[in-house]
Amino acid sequence: MPVVYSAENPAEAHLCRQFLSSEGIESRVDGEILWQARGDLPPNESTNPTVIVSDEDYETARALIEHFEQKLQDGRELDTWSCPHCAEDNPGNFEVCWNCGESAPAAQQTEPL
């Protein structure tokens, strides 16, 4: 199964999986355990979590990943929000938690301070 995306952390990998899933593509996150086990080692390709898809879906998934990366990039400029359900941090422009699927708190979607 080909790797379609190499994430910087498990959150990104799961966001990617969720994004692909919303586009009708099944994928799997690999390497999470390794990422957690690496401790204080500097990040590098071989310990990054990856998202893998089936051979048939690879081309379509690659095209979608470009949109995903753009969305992720945009999200970096916004404040992250903490999931009210599981307390994981999520990029500002994601509507649901990458970890448990909970919706973002209402305050997140509206008013500035």
CA distance 46 to 33: 12
- Signed CA dihedral, 91, 23, 34, 36: sign only: positive
User: Does 78 interact with Zn ion (rule: CB under 5 A)?
Assistant: no
- Answer yes or no whether residue 102 interacts with Zn ion by CB under 5 A: yes
1 counts as binding Zn ion under rule CB under 5 A: no
Q: Which of 18, 48, 99, 108 binds Zn ion (CB under 5 A)?
A: 99
Residue of 29, 97, 104, 108 that binds Zn ion (CB under 5 A): 97
CB of 94 to Zn ion, least distance (A): 11
| Strand residue runs (E) in 1-113 | 3-6, 27-30, 50-53, 81-82, 89-90
Binding site for Zn ion (CB under 5 A): 83, 85-86, 97, 99-100, 102
